[in-house]
Amino acid sequence: MVEVPGASTPASPAGYDAVVLLGGGFLPDADDHAPWLPAERELARRAVADGVPLLGICLGAQVLALATGGTVRGAYGRPERGSRTVSLNPAAAEDALFAGLPGEFRVIQNHRDQITALPPGAALLAGSAACPVQGFRVGRRAWGVQFHPEAGADRLAGWDEAALADAGLDLRALRAEAERAEPESARSTRRLAVNFAEVVRRNARADPDLVPAVGGS
């Protein structure tokens, strides 16, 4: 695996067998704040066009949506913090990324921005009460998830308690809830990770010289 900081994001997936776009505390078109975002959006577009497996997480999902014709709105709806329930749509039953996951599962959420319109032709795969677009697929092998499958309950230890209190949230309560849900969450997110890895393996068999993965954030 090759981990690439945002400033070094390539604009093309050529030479890599997969792309993972990670999260961040800004919008996917905040180019003045994060000047590498145009390259990241182009990377997402090229991955979709070339059929290179891509997984966008939180901001990464928003980058994928925006790059391929969707809409993202800042500070929209109700923020989601801590362990929250995501529900799969019927279309997820035949989807490679969500295969084997339960119809509802708990995951870590930490966002206030939302994808409000999917790209043309995208498949909506998962949602929640506060955020209708939690999981989607663009093209054959590009997925976006608004939640954080890479994060466990321990991630909350680094959250800003004062900022959460200002928003009317109790960090201790959020941590306790996430810890109770951790066994269930870990099973579901591990299944999702295994599913994505299997998509990558199947796709890479056609070209064994590709680099294992690239992560952009």
Residues annotated as part of the active site: 58, 148, 150
Cα dist from 103 to 39, 143, 188, whole Å: 35, 18, 10
Dihedral class, residue 75 (left if φ above 0, else alpha if ψ from -120 to 50, else beta): left
Torsion region of 96: left, alpha or beta (phi above 0 gives left; psi -120 to 50 gives alpha): alpha
* CA distances to 56, 153, 201 from 142, in Å: 8, 27, 15
Token readout for 107 is: 């995951």
